[in-house]
Structure 1
Amino acid sequence: MAQGKKTIKLKQIGSPIRRPEAQRKILIGLGLNKMHREVELEDTPEVRGAIKKLPHLVQVLD
């Protein structure tokens, strides 16, 4: 990530199996689609909103 930009580190903790298609698409949009994957994303309102829709599938890491 670029210097000076805030980032959020996410880890997928839940499976998308038997979840609605919309939740699967949000996971893919966040760069997650397999269990225990971690990604670092720019801290934007869009990313925060996606995280709020999937609190049972993703974990915010420090």
Structure 2
Amino acid sequence: MMRKTSYLRGLVAGSALLVLFAPSLYAAEQAAPEAPPVDARAWILMDYASGKVLAEGN
């Protein structure tokens, strides 16, 4: 009985780790897009969610 419980705990723990870390294995880092052609003297391209500046021209 003790061996079965130990096996079951290991199986549950292993499954939980797989569920927690599997998405990070498939996540690909995205590169910043190229700046679009703009007919202006100065421009800035920012990420809406983070506010991070992706590209700028002056």
Question: TM-score by structure 2 length?
Answer: 0.24
Which structure carries more relative contact order (alpha carbon 8 Å, separation 6+)? 1
> Which has a greater percent of strand?
1
Bigger proportion of residues as helix: 2
- Of structures 1 and 2, the larger Rg is shown by 2
Query: TM-score normalized by structure 1?
Result: 0.23
